[in-house]
Structure 1
């Protein structure tokens, strides 16, 4: 444990305290997280909207600027992974369980339960439900992931800095980042990572439990979810032990194969022509309305503020909470690519894949709903499986979905243990297995406590609180990057001033 920094011990201590308090005082914990969530959503919703929009603007600027030619690494460096494997790892680490959990449920909710813009159940609400879902999962989140990953990759591979959030702020604060302030930043990043990933693990456990209950009658309960988390924890720790070039790479490729089988299965047995038409029209609607929706704050009483807080603001906070984890992971697997290649790949490829995925599952759910089967009566984690019941090959589709959730679960947790290991071992790209195992146990414990305290509501509340402090660090990272890129361009052109 010689490599371990004080960030490890401080963050572990904070996590232990949070777990103990949550386990001993579940009602108080739920009340506190609910109040914090309400305060941040109501008072700083406008702030989240500006932060996410600002990151898109910066991303576009960097892509088209001369900075885009700069390589993330030395002149002779080549990409460590093939493009298909690279995209698979982006996809698995950056999205994972959420795609399956919300694939059918979110578009259905926006169209047939609580439509944000049009009359519930109308054809327009059906289309807008899909377009709004693309908005929540598309360019905004991936621009943010891309920027955070770009900052980390630039300083790590171009400037030979350790793979730490604090190291990226040296152009602004100098050697102060080597002391207590730097430690504080790295602790905040690790803490956000723990709770961000724990939220997804909680969602995954709940949906696996729902699927097993639907297929085999296994009780939906905390006990069942505890056993699921325990089993998956053992599996992802085995994967984490094998390292990034084996465990995570192979699992990510497996995710893509299983996801493709599930996707094409639904396209074939579902309303194929409707899916293709809806994707074409609603993706255009998304692109047409992206600017307006990016600045929507529901400022007046009749603007459905509760919907905005529960969906858009929650999503922006969730993306931010995942930023240190996914950003650091994407940076780690992206050495050797130019900034322009990197940002275009990170922003556009996942956004397009996401659009096709949600169009397929969301359109199919809407088709089932309009045929007379009310899917809105089911809990979020059960919508997918009840939708499959109305399709041919339902058992095969349900089994594939459960396998995909398991696989995504393992990959996300595995990737997170790797990233947390980097954050707590002075930026080492090969953290000790002991450290990764301890982090794996910690994030599973947090997921279980959050499920015990208040189920999915507690998970959603916690994510907003965890994300808020890191959003300010993220803004500083962007400023630091622009300053460093300007200096790098002077070096490349041979100018000293």
Structure 2
């Protein structure tokens, strides 16, 4: 409990200082952090490409390894949630509202604004636009979440350790150090990354919802409306948090996946169906055949193309790492009772395929409009591009209404998941933190988001999250090695016991 108390206060102090910086000197925060993130992208791009690929290879190895049958829990533990509910919950926490906007905005950007290698607007640029979208939102991203979640679930449910990032490193550094200053620093880094990331997302999300309402209903776009959205959302996710994991997040995640798929199927039917299917098939083939080229694509000579790699691939890899403590802890919590093989297959491939389908339907629908000269989607902002696309197709208003609703639920589930994770980290890894603790964190997150939105420091907070990714990437690598050592000892011990029993017989 002392550990949790210190982590809480250390995290609160750091977050308060960051908020004050963003509130008082938003331009200075953005300038300093932008310079720092640009430096990291240009100097450590090779590092991010190598470690993300290494993490993915390790995750795939675990599916076929001697560890594959280890259960994330006790011998008799059963999965707490059904497969559809499990997929819906991990997808809602892992990707959230970003999917609604980037499925349209990213392919359009790669094809008509800034292409990875082809000339803008050419067939090559259009083909690559969807292929690289698959790459950025596919198995590489989910491998980071999968590794962090697996290690946390293994040590918590299988070994009985506290549900803390620091506890997973006990085999490497010993219990004393992990309950001392080093452990406090690691857990504080995880809490700060979660708080800053979610606060920035809440701020950005409120702006996205506001822009959607403005586009659809000509509603005013200002801080007052965004604050109202934050207040309403806060009340809703507090109600969800109060009802608990098995009710609030479970029901909202299931509702969101049903609505999301309904929206996607509707657009597939009224949109350029054949073109979508052809592009999906071709892009999936291109993603698979060019998998390793894209994974190590860094452009060491061409500075213009290297700038694209830094702005997109390196940014995404750092973003996924920085979100991994939040998403990893949540996925670990909902994955008790599953074997390592089942866990890895589920977390790596199912959400990736869902991402590919959504990118194909929304992205190709946008590309077709611009290629045909019907609408210049590349002129729209990230917040409004999806709505601009939907309005050009039959039932556009209905689909836009559904989109607003889906965004709102993603908004709530992301905040609800974050308060749950912060509650765990603030109560020595408790699997069921009290509703009061979660509500306190929820109010703190919303207050931070409101302050930062008012003073215009959202971009600075996002940059802070990317900066946290560099030191946390080292923690992720150590977590993987710690798991390997502990699991190897366990398997060896089982084999020795089995051999002894056989000899005794």
Give the TM-score range, shorter chain.
over 0.9
Q: CA deviation at 1:4?
A: 5.2
How is 1:2-401 mapped onto 2 (pairs within 5 angstroms)?
Answer: 5-175=5-175, 176-372=177-373, 373-401=375-403
| Structure 1 residues 447 and 165: CA distance shift in structure 2, 3 A | same
What's the CA shift string for 1:277-318, capped at 9, x where partnerless?
110110111111121111122222344222222211111111
Structure 2 distance, partners of 1:496, 1:174, is 29
| Structure 1 residues 453 and 150: CA distance shift in structure 2, 3 A | same
Query: Given that residues 196 and 466 in structure 1 are in contact (C-alpha distance below 8 angstroms), is that contact kept between their aligned partners in structure 2?
Result: no
Residue segments in structure 1 that go unaligned for 5+ positions in a row: none
Q: CA deviation at 1:224?
A: 2.5
Query: Given that residues 451 and 458 in structure 1 are in contact (C-alpha distance below 8 angstroms), is that contact kept between their aligned partners in structure 2?
Result: no
Query: Given that residues 142 and 352 in structure 2 are in contact (C-alpha distance below 8 angstroms), is that contact kept between their aligned partners in structure 1?
Result: yes
| Structure 1 residues 367 and 216: CA distance shift in structure 2, 3 A | same
Q: Aligned match of 1:437 in 436, 439, 447?
A: 439
TM-score normalized by structure 1?
0.97
Q: CA deviation at 1:266?
A: 0.7
Structure 2 distance, partners of 1:303, 1:495, is 59
Structure 2 distance, partners of 1:132, 1:407, is 27
Structure 1 distance, partners of 2:415, 2:18, is 19
Structure 2 distance, partners of 1:466, 1:451, is 21
Q: Aligned match of 1:410 in 409, 412, 425?
A: 412
Q: CA deviation at 1:269?
A: 0.9
Q: CA deviation at 1:452?
A: 4.0
What's the CA shift string for 1:61-80, capped at 9, x where partnerless?
11111110111111111101
Q: CA deviation at 1:201?
A: 2.2
RMSD: 1.8
Q: CA deviation at 1:185?
A: 0.7
Structure 1 distance, partners of 2:120, 2:15, is 42
Structure 1 distance, partners of 2:239, 2:2, is 23
Query: Given that residues 112 and 121 in structure 1 are in contact (C-alpha distance below 8 angstroms), is that contact kept between their aligned partners in structure 2?
Result: yes
Aligned residues: 497
Structure 2 distance, partners of 1:305, 1:455, is 27
Query: Given that residues 255 and 408 in structure 1 are in contact (C-alpha distance below 8 angstroms), is that contact kept between their aligned partners in structure 2?
Result: yes
Structure 2 distance, partners of 1:115, 1:456, is 26
Q: CA deviation at 1:428?
A: 0.7
Bigger mean CA deviation after superposition, 339-348 or 116-125:
116-125
Structure 1 distance, partners of 2:378, 2:460, is 21
| Structure 1 residues 181 and 480: CA distance shift in structure 2, 3 A | same
Query: Given that residues 421 and 432 in structure 1 are in contact (C-alpha distance below 8 angstroms), is that contact kept between their aligned partners in structure 2?
Result: yes
| Structure 1 residues 120 and 312: CA distance shift in structure 2, 3 A | same
Query: Given that residues 130 and 359 in structure 1 are in contact (C-alpha distance below 8 angstroms), is that contact kept between their aligned partners in structure 2?
Result: yes
TM-score normalized by structure 2?
0.95
Q: Aligned match of 1:469 in 463, 468, 471?
A: 471
Query: Given that residues 12 and 442 in structure 1 are in contact (C-alpha distance below 8 angstroms), is that contact kept between their aligned partners in structure 2?
Result: no
Query: Given that residues 196 and 318 in structure 1 are in contact (C-alpha distance below 8 angstroms), is that contact kept between their aligned partners in structure 2?
Result: no
What's the CA shift string for 1:363-408, capped at 9, x where partnerless?
0000011121111111111111111111111111111111000000
Structure 2 distance, partners of 1:213, 1:429, is 41
Structure 1 distance, partners of 2:197, 2:50, is 21
Q: CA deviation at 1:11?
A: 0.7
